[in-house]
Amino acid sequence: MMPEKLDKPFYIALGKLLRTRRLELGYSLEEVANRLNSTKKTISRYETAESRIKMSTLQMLSSVLDFDQDVYLQKANEQIQLEFPDLFSLENAELARTYLKENFMLMAMSGSDYNNKTDEEVVEMANFLKSQNLQTTAKFKKLFGKEND
């Protein structure tokens, strides 16, 4: 079964980066919250991924914590790949086939017929597609300022 939210790992990774940066600068939660006209609890929730951070808020945080928003979005995405390198394996090749079926438009555009592929090929295709989807999601959120769901 597919994870309910593939973007949860993204927010976890981003939160860890934000906390690390805040601590590097020696800022307390309260100091950051005051600079953002927010609360300690809200900043803590961003750092622990209890709340999804809006891209507009991330932009303000990047100013307060002096980091490049693009670099942090990329680092968070890279961390996802390290922590979740393969969603699919040979043991769950049928799940990989289901994932490809659910992404039929991309598969159709690629001209690939996953029904005639070996389990190994299906798993490789599904993992590649998953990786690209995670990267695209992060980029779209950055480009279009996607707010909390």
Give the model confidence (pLDDT) of 85-119 as tens digits. Answer: 567 777 778 888 888 888 777 777 767 777 788 98
CA gap 124, 130 in Å, rounded: 10
**1-85 falls under which CATH superfamily?**
lambda repressor-like DNA-binding domains (1.10.260.40)
Question: Which DSSP letter does residue 65 get?
Answer: T
Instruction: Kindly report, as residue ranges, where domains of CATH 1.10.260.40 are found in the chain.
Output: 1-85
State pLDDT tens for residues 27-68.
Answer: 999 999 999 999 999 999 999 989 989 889 999 999 999 999
Q: How many CA atoms lie within 13 A of 144 on its CB side?
A: 9
Q: Residue type at 138?
A: A
